[in-house]
Every structure is written in C-alpha cells, then in structure tokens.
C-alpha cells in the first residue's frame, strides 16, 4: 500500500476537466511540497507540477496543482487524447525520512 492515496483511475471526454486527488498525512503532504509526474505509455516519468502548484517551463497552463491540509489535487482542463497517461503525486515524508509516491492514477480520455 502506498503512503499517499490516489484514485486508481479517472476518465473524461476530450475538452472536459478532470481532477486527481492525493491524500497524505501531517508528516508528508501536510508539511512538505507536493510534486506531480506524468508517465506516458512506455516512457519515463516527467515532472508536471512542483512545489504544490508551480509548472516547469513547457508545461501548458491546462495543468494545475493545489494543496489544502493533507490533500493535494492535480487539475487538467481542456482534456486531450494525448493526456492519457498515469499520474503520480510525491513528496518527502519527514517522519519516515523518505520520499513517498502515490499509487498512481490512470487517466483515460474517452
């Protein structure tokens, strides 16, 4: 079981908006920055959101991040078929002295 909890899957149609949740605890999400990663089929993960809500250069503003308490959320608007991928949240756990990842969420764009 992953330390961070994500829904296993979400789906939506092209053009719609989807959100992916990431639930943690006071020792990880509650006090540390959350980052999000996109893993396209057959590829290595890439950084999508860092420091809860910042986008690296080159990441479109259709992708957004937020955090409240011990939960973080990834939002994707204007869904495209190319957004079909696995999405992971991650952060540092100060009690474990370890990085922790969510179990991943498979996004299907119908």
Whole-angstrom Cα distance, residue 28 to residue 88?
A: 15
Mind spelling out the 3-state secondary structure of 40-80?
A: CCCCCCEEEEECCCECCCCCCCCEEEEEECCEEEEEECCCC
Whole-angstrom Cα distance, residue 64 to residue 48?
A: 9
Stretch of 10-18, 19-27, 66-74, 86-94 contacting another protein, by CB under 8 A: 86-94
Site size toward another protein, by CB under 8 A: 28
Query: If binding is defined by CB under 8 A, does position 91 make contact with another protein?
Result: yes
Q: Which residues pair with 74 in a beta bridge?
A: 20, 65
In the complex, the smallest distance separating the C-beta of residue 39 from another protein, rounded to whole angstroms, is 8
Stretch of 15-23, 48-56, 74-82 contacting another protein, by CB under 8 A: 48-56
Q: Which of 20, 34, 85, 109 binds another protein (CB under 8 A)?
A: 34
Stretch of 16-24, 49-57, 66-74, 75-83 contacting another protein, by CB under 8 A: 49-57
Interface ranges with another protein (CB under 8 A): 2, 32-35, 37, 39, 44-47, 49-51, 56, 86, 88, 90-92, 97-104
């Amino acid at each position: 079981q992953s330390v961070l909890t994500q829904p296993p899957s979400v789906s939506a149609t092209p053009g719609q908006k989807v959100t992916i949740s990431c639930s943690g605890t006071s020792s990880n999400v509650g006090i540390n920055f959350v980052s999000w990663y996109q893993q396209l089929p057959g590829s290595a993960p890439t950084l999508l959101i860092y420091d809860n809500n910042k986008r690296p250069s080159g990441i479109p503003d259709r992708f957004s991040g937020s955090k409240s308490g011990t939960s973080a959320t990834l939002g994707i608007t204007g869904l495209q078929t190319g957004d079909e991928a696995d999405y992971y949240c991650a952060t540092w756990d100060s009690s474990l002295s370890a990085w922790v990842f969510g179990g991943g969420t498979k996004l299907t764009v119908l």
